[in-house]
Amino acid sequence: MPQAAADIDTPTTNKKPDKAKLEKAAKQFEALVLTKMLQSARENTPGGLMGDSKDQASSTISGMAEEHFAQALAAQGGLGLARMVTKGLIAAESNGKTNR
Protein backbone atom coordinates (compact mmCIF):
# COMPACT_ATOMS: atom_id res chain seq x y z
CA MET A 1 0.00 0.00 0.00
CA PRO A 2 1.41 3.47 -0.84
CA GLN A 3 2.57 5.52 2.14
CA ALA A 4 -0.06 8.23 1.61
CA ALA A 5 -2.83 5.64 1.67
CA ALA A 6 -1.38 4.05 4.80
CA ASP A 7 -1.65 7.39 6.66
CA ILE A 8 -5.40 7.66 6.10
CA ASP A 9 -7.60 6.31 8.85
CA THR A 10 -10.41 4.07 7.68
CA PRO A 11 -13.74 3.61 9.47
CA THR A 12 -12.60 0.17 10.60
CA THR A 13 -9.68 1.53 12.63
CA ASN A 14 -10.21 2.96 16.07
CA LYS A 15 -7.13 5.15 16.12
CA LYS A 16 -7.39 8.47 17.89
CA PRO A 17 -6.55 11.45 15.71
CA ASP A 18 -2.92 12.50 15.78
CA LYS A 19 -3.22 15.94 17.36
CA ALA A 20 0.14 17.11 15.99
CA LYS A 21 -0.90 16.24 12.43
CA LEU A 22 -4.26 17.95 12.87
CA GLU A 23 -2.60 21.08 14.26
CA LYS A 24 -0.09 21.17 11.39
CA ALA A 25 -2.82 20.79 8.77
CA ALA A 26 -5.00 23.41 10.49
CA LYS A 27 -2.09 25.89 10.56
CA GLN A 28 -1.42 25.26 6.88
CA PHE A 29 -5.11 25.86 6.16
CA GLU A 30 -5.07 29.09 8.16
CA ALA A 31 -1.93 30.24 6.33
CA LEU A 32 -3.67 29.58 3.01
CA VAL A 33 -6.72 31.60 4.09
CA LEU A 34 -4.50 34.46 5.29
CA THR A 35 -2.50 34.38 2.04
CA LYS A 36 -5.69 34.68 0.01
CA MET A 37 -6.89 37.55 2.20
CA LEU A 38 -3.61 39.42 1.76
CA GLN A 39 -3.61 38.73 -1.99
CA SER A 40 -7.14 40.08 -2.29
CA ALA A 41 -6.22 43.18 -0.30
CA ARG A 42 -3.22 43.82 -2.56
CA GLU A 43 -5.21 43.32 -5.74
CA ASN A 44 -8.02 45.59 -4.59
CA THR A 45 -5.90 48.42 -3.17
CA PRO A 46 -5.46 51.30 -5.62
CA GLY A 47 -1.75 51.51 -6.41
CA GLY A 48 -1.09 48.24 -4.62
CA LEU A 49 0.27 47.80 -1.13
CA MET A 50 3.85 48.37 -2.25
CA GLY A 51 3.41 51.16 -4.79
CA ASP A 52 2.27 51.47 -8.39
CA SER A 53 4.68 48.94 -9.86
CA LYS A 54 2.77 46.34 -11.87
CA ASP A 55 5.71 44.42 -13.28
CA GLN A 56 6.08 40.65 -12.93
CA ALA A 57 8.97 40.88 -10.46
CA SER A 58 7.03 43.14 -8.11
CA SER A 59 4.01 40.87 -8.28
CA THR A 60 6.14 37.79 -7.58
CA ILE A 61 7.94 39.30 -4.60
CA SER A 62 4.68 40.62 -3.18
CA GLY A 63 3.13 37.16 -3.47
CA MET A 64 6.12 35.54 -1.78
CA ALA A 65 6.06 38.11 1.02
CA GLU A 66 2.33 37.58 1.56
CA GLU A 67 2.77 33.81 1.74
CA HIS A 68 5.68 34.04 4.18
CA PHE A 69 3.88 36.58 6.36
CA ALA A 70 0.72 34.44 6.40
CA GLN A 71 2.71 31.33 7.40
CA ALA A 72 4.48 33.21 10.19
CA LEU A 73 1.21 34.69 11.39
CA ALA A 74 -0.56 31.30 11.37
CA ALA A 75 2.36 29.68 13.23
CA GLN A 76 1.92 32.23 16.02
CA GLY A 77 -1.84 31.77 16.34
CA GLY A 78 -3.00 34.03 13.52
CA LEU A 79 -6.73 34.65 13.65
CA GLY A 80 -7.31 31.60 15.83
CA LEU A 81 -8.77 29.69 12.91
CA ALA A 82 -6.30 26.80 13.20
CA ARG A 83 -7.08 26.42 16.90
CA MET A 84 -10.83 26.35 16.22
CA VAL A 85 -10.47 23.84 13.37
CA THR A 86 -8.25 21.54 15.45
CA LYS A 87 -10.59 21.71 18.43
CA GLY A 88 -13.61 21.00 16.23
CA LEU A 89 -11.98 18.05 14.48
CA ILE A 90 -10.83 16.49 17.74
CA ALA A 91 -14.30 16.94 19.26
CA ALA A 92 -16.00 15.51 16.16
CA GLU A 93 -13.63 12.54 16.07
CA SER A 94 -14.15 11.77 19.74
CA ASN A 95 -17.91 11.93 19.24
CA GLY A 96 -17.73 9.75 16.13
CA LYS A 97 -19.18 12.47 13.91
CA THR A 98 -16.62 12.52 11.11
CA ASN A 99 -17.56 11.20 7.69
CA ARG A 100 -15.01 9.14 5.82
pLDDT 10s digits, 10-37: 444 556 668 899 999 999 999 999 999 9
Domain membership of residue 59 as a residue range: 18-94
Is residue 5 situated within a structural domain? no
Is residue 99 situated within a structural domain? no
Is residue 39 situated within a structural domain? yes
Is residue 46 situated within a structural domain? yes
* pTM of the predicted model as reported, rounded to 2 decimal places: 0.67
How many structural domains comprise the chain?
1
Cβ distance 89 to 98 under 8 Å?
yes
Distance CA 4, CA 30 (A): 22
Is residue 8 situated within a structural domain? no
Is residue 12 situated within a structural domain? no
The answer to which of 20-34, 35-49, 70-84 has the lowest mean pLDDT is 35-49
Is residue 11 situated within a structural domain? no
Is residue 4 situated within a structural domain? no
